[in-house]
Structure 1
Amino acid sequence: MTRLIVAAGGGGDAVAAAMLDAALYGNEGPAVILTYAWDRLLIGPVPGPRGPHAFTGLSQITPAVSAVPAEARPIAPAGSTLPRLAAELPHTFALLDPHQGVEGVTRQLEELVDHLKPESIDLLDVGGDILARGDEPALKSPLGDALTLAAACQVNASIRLLVAGPGLDGELAADDLRPVLGAVVHTLTAKDVEPISAVLEWHPSEATAMLAATARGVRGTCEVRDAGLPVPLTDEGPRVHEVDLDEALSRNSLARAIMTTATLDEVEAYSREVCGFSEIDYERDKAAWLKGRPPVRLDAEAVLPRLDRFETEARNRGVTHTTFPHITEALNLNGSQRDALRRLLISSRPEQYDRPLWRMTTKPE
């Protein structure tokens, strides 16, 4: 008996898939999780998603699909969280490769379904940007979700679309998503977070960190991304909704436009046309800007006064929590320093660590 979960946007969606798999099917053995190797410059300086040629040590599942085992390694300078996920979690992580466009992703899905004959197939998105029309002002990362949605709608199999934590990616507001959300399949709890709790100590995903935090009861406003978007942490956060797959496709203009694409370049071109941008272009520009930036001095004497100023300004904006990737950006540190910064802050001010988020001090100045 095999289950297949497709992590719609890669990155943190794969971690959320592992959490949801344990919550819904905990006694039935781990699932196969099909996911992009795409960490949005949070792991390594190379923009865009990794294909199979960016790794050594992959394990072939079907002609078009490889697994990423613990011993696999990304080829420098690329980076990926997938080998470490494979080492720490019991699931099989299969590599979703978008470089042949929707045609290629559809072929991967069809091969996996034929090979695994899964008893269930779930397509999981954290936040809900898979339901984006394409013109939302805060939309930042529609490409991966549109690819998987377009492919899922062409596979001759029953696929259930799940949206966890509506609004938690900071791109679409929960109120805007509510009319299309279906029944609540599950409300995540602190107990559900435990199987991935160790992963959350190092994984850079902001949306999945907030999903886990709300499941643990954290409430407030969390500031995320380099732009400092405010994301409400509410009772809606830990809920997982089912959404009609066809209705999702009818909303998602980019997914409809790319149905017959055969290359990632084509998908990017449609994204620029439909949404006005390609997120990989943004990553290219940011990678060029980050290139050669030297690491900033990282010790308590240098960091904590700057953190105090950041927290004062954030509290005045009504912010109660933030993520470690955002603190790294806000303090103008190199992304490679994120883990060291996290250790420094937790050791210096452990009372502010609202796992896996950082809680602002309570008294505004």
Structure 2
Amino acid sequence: MTRLIVAAGGGGDAVAAAMLDAALYGDADRAVIFTYAWDRLLIDPVPGPRGAHDFTGLEQLTASVWAVPAEARPIAPAGSTLPRLAAELPHTFALIDPYQGVEGVTRQLEELVRHLEPESIDLLDVGGDILARGDEPTLKSPLADALTLAACCQVDASIRLLVAGPGLDGELAPDDLSGMLGSLVHTFVAKDVEPISSVLDWHPSEATGMLAATARGVRGTCEVRDAGLPVLLTGEGPTVHEANIDAALSRNQLARAITATVTLADVETHSREICGYSEIDYERNKAAWLSKQAPPRLDPEAFLAQLNRFEAEARDRGVTHTTFRHITEALNFDGSQHAELRQLLIQCRPDQYDPPIWSIAAGTNRSAPQP
């Protein structure tokens, strides 16, 4: 029998889905993970999610659902982590194509359910922003979660809503979520991270990275995103809770408003009206700004001097950890230098690296290694 997991926000939610499936079912038949191809600008320079038209080499599962195998490739200049996930993990990754709005995603999900006849269907969100109203000042990326929630609530099937790592996305505080979380389904521990450990070395997801870190016992305050949001790493971090999916829909104003949408543009319009913005607009504006910037030359000595200053200032703010994405953006580097930066940091400071979380060193400043 097949299990189906809908990764509510795509990206790191898909990685967390693979970790949860392995933790709960071990080496049993792996789940099909239904997910967006939506990587941030560090990986994909094209704003917004990718649809089936953005790939070559997809495998058709149903009339409107395509799987992303290891051989698939995004069409340049787009980028995607899904082919590499398919190469490194034993799951099938089916693509959520949002370009026909909630009606399109609902149709895709209904086809997938008929095709697979899954024994269980879970809608998984890391962090819990799927439970947001839509007007919270800390909310940054409600669109994908609202779209999948709205679609799941229209499908004639039993779907369980799961929230992993409450508060780890930095969008809703754990205290705001506590009253909406139901029974504890699982608490991740270090051994649960092992099946996805190779993925954590390169995948850009911060929330799932922190989920894995808390499962390994990391505690403290982690700065994330380009804005440097502080996220607390606590004992609640590695937990997975069930939440009431109908109550989530009743609370989520954006999900209710977009139920009848037939284009992604319609979804964005509602997001601007309800939330005050579309996160794809944010990506468009940032991509336009980045296109006019010349990336700084990567000089190891200069970079590590910058990093020393960054760490000193972070310690003054009470920060104990950060993510590779935040280091990259805080020091004004871009995605084209991603691999080179990572290699330099691993070479110079391996004791601070617990993929993908970086410990803010409490010791003395260090310089680049000599050739």
* TM-score, structure 2 normalization: 0.97
Runs of 4+ in 1 over 2 A off after TM superposition: 292-295
Partner of 1:230: 230
Partner of 1:197: 197
Partner of 2:134: 134
1:55 to partner: Cα distance: 0.2
Q: Higher mean Cα deviation, 351-360 or 12-21?
A: 351-360
The answer to whether structure 1 residue 244 and structure 2 residue 237 are counterparts is no
Q: Helix, strand or coil for the counterpart of 2:135?
A: coil
How far apart, in 2, do the equivalents of 1:246 and 1:253 lie? 12
How far apart, in 2, do the equivalents of 1:361 and 1:189 lie? 25
Partner of 1:257: 257
How far apart, in 2, do the equivalents of 1:66 and 1:60 lie? 4
Cα distance per residue 1:128-173 (max 9 Å; x no partner) = 0000101111100000000000000000000000000000001001
Q: Higher mean Cα deviation, 5-14 or 333-342?
A: 333-342
* TM-score, structure 1 normalization: 0.98
User: 2:23 is matched by which residue type in structure 1?
Assistant: A
Q: Helix, strand or coil for the counterpart of 2:141?
A: coil
1:259 to partner: Cα distance: 0.7
The answer to whether structure 1 residue 340 and structure 2 residue 340 are counterparts is yes
1:354 to partner: Cα distance: 2.7
CA contact (8 A) 1:329 1:335 kept: no
User: 2:96 is matched by which residue type in structure 1?
Assistant: L
Q: Higher mean Cα deviation, 350-359 or 175-184?
A: 350-359
Alignment of 1:1-365 (within 5 A): 1-362=1-362
Q: Helix, strand or coil for the counterpart of 1:204?
A: coil
Q: Helix, strand or coil for the counterpart of 2:144?
A: helix
Q: Helix, strand or coil for the counterpart of 2:61?
A: strand
Structure 2 alignment gaps of length 5 or more: 366-371
CA contact (8 A) 2:202 2:356 kept: no
1:299 to partner: Cα distance: 3.5
Q: Helix, strand or coil for the counterpart of 1:213?
A: helix
CA contact (8 A) 2:85 2:199 kept: yes
Identity of aligned residues (%): 78
How far apart, in 2, do the equivalents of 1:336 and 1:197 lie? 23
How far apart, in 2, do the equivalents of 1:50 and 1:42 lie? 15
CA contact (8 A) 1:98 1:104 kept: yes
Q: Helix, strand or coil for the counterpart of 1:141?
A: coil
User: 2:36 is matched by which residue type in structure 1?
Assistant: Y
1:350 to partner: Cα distance: 1.1
Structure 1 alignment gaps of length 5 or more: none
CA contact (8 A) 1:4 1:32 kept: yes
